[in-house]
Structure 1
């Protein structure tokens, strides 16, 4: 009788203890009754009917990752080798979503096999439409294509593709060598073009500098010529003014104007002698020559005076 009592107490304790279920954070427990779905248990301490309700599975709602390594063939028959990292999670915490996750596949192995093969097939289908030269530059396009293609399929399974990272894209060794040669030749071409552009810019700048120097020199020469012309004109005007004043004073003194011309004649000869720097200047120093020169100068003076009077 004592053994029966203790046995009943033991079974009662076992049943009581088995009525409590602890669900870890980040996990949802799926409860079934005789193999049929019954309800969900959220994280924390919960109760279940002993011997009737059974924990079918514990579904992790945390992010999960898996590494992929596979091969694809491009449109121009080049082998491409991919190494990728897949990040996925349960779509949401809704009851229907958790039921899909729990009952769509026999186990996690079958789920992973279907998930990996679906993603690999989507990438292979996209790569088959592209040429080898374009694949390296289309990482983002490949990821967008995969997400667009398999999002609905994964949602029907209760999962969502968080991210797909193509960590490494390689080709056969011969193709990699040829690509390296193409890159090297393009770099050499770009360097030659840059050197040509630099030389062209240098020569252009040099030509512009020479042109600007010529323009500046021409402008300076033009300004100097203008200044020289203005100086000569001013000198002539002052000479004419001085001669006119001297002639007027000599007329008032009843002196002959030819004296001025004679003075100019002698001053000119003196100037030629002092500033000739060894050059030979032939002048007619005879009385007839001096008279002829003086008459010409007087005629020029008279003509100028008439012009001045006519202008007044």
Structure 2
């Protein structure tokens, strides 16, 4: 009798222990009786009838994320891979649908993501895919919400977390970007060089203007000095021609003196003989005299021509 009591006690302990089970937080347990749905049990210590009732499964009520990688082609025939992150959650009021209507919700969500992305991206160029990735995410969310709400799933958010074009396309985009930056740099360098050239030209023009003004002022003062020198010489009985010749000879000797003061000068002044000064003076006086004689003769000839033209035809003096 005692030997039979031990197995009975053990069996009773097992049955009693199997009558209780624990459901974790943010989880719902599905209880079936003889294979038929009985109830859902929420978090905490729960009880069931051993052998008759069984836990068919557990549903996670927390927000979950599914990452789907889709490869498709853009409008400009560029193959690109998009990573779509879908955040979803089981609706507490529709745990029955979420458990019994879908065997694998991840595969179902993945199928809808593929369908939407491959319908939207081929309408866009590659640059538009980067710029309008939020539009793609919104389209995926709208399609998933409409489809998955019937299965007890709520789509919280969809995100396009990565856009990865073909390797050759990325290299070409990098080259284009580099060329564009080099073009902009060249334009800035050319503009800077143009500004420097303009500034230099303006500085040179101002320098030449000031230099020309200085030379003009210098020549004006020289002419004024020569005029005063001629006036002084005229006052002592020297005529203008002799005075001009004397001034030139004086400047000649002043130039020779200046050259002599320069120790490293390679300048040679011709003629440079000792009698060069007197020869220059005599030549200039002779030139002035000959010039005056020629001028007087031309005046007499012009006067004679004028008298002849005034005579009337057929008259005699």
TM-score by length of 2: 0.57
Which of the residues 94, 97, 119 maps onto 1:97?
Answer: 94
Q: Distance in 2 between matches of 1:277 and 1:3?
A: 156
- Asked whether 1:115 is paired with 2:112, we answer no
**Distance (Å, rounded) in 1 between the aligned partners of 2:15 and 2:95:** 28
CA-CA distance at 1:203 after TM superposition? 9.2
Q: Which runs of 5+ in 1 are unaligned?
A: 211-275, 283-312
1:210-262 CA-partner distances (Å, limit 9, x unpaired): 9xxxxxxxxxxxxxxxxxxxxxxxxxxxxxxxxxxxxxxxxxxxxxxxxxxxx
Q: Describe how 1:183-222 pairs up with structure 2 within 5 A.
A: 183-195=177-189
1:51 corresponds to 2:51: yes
Match of 1:133 in 2: 127
- For structure 2, the residue ranges without an aligned partner over 5 or more in a row are 204-224, 232-317
Match of 1:254 in 2: none
In the alignment of these two chains, the number of paired residues is 217
Distance (Å, rounded) in 2 between the aligned partners of 1:278 and 1:197: 53
> Secondary structure of the residue that 1:116 maps to in structure 2?
helix
Q: 1:22 aligns to what?
A: 22
CA shift at 1:58, angstroms?
0.7
Shift of 1:80: 0.9
CA distance in 1, matches of 2:114, 2:129: 15
Residue 129 of structure 1: CA displacement?
Answer: 0.8
* Conserved 8 A contact 2:60-2:90: no
Alignment match, 1:71: 71
* Cα offset, 1:277, TM superposition: 12
2:262 aligned residue: none
d(CA) in 1 for partners of 2:230 and 2:191? 61
CA shift, 1:103, in A, is 0.7
TM-score (ref. length: structure 1): 0.57
Once the two structures are TM-superposed, the CA of residue 194 in structure 1 deviates from its matched residue by 4.3
Offset at 1:201? 8.1
Match of 1:235 in 2: none
Counterpart-to-counterpart distance in 2, 1:145 and 1:193: 42
Once the two structures are superposed, residues 39-89 of structure 1 have per-residue CA deviations (whole angstroms, 9 ceiling, x without a partner) of 11111111112222211111112233333333101123221122x252433
CA RMSD of aligned residues (A): 3.5
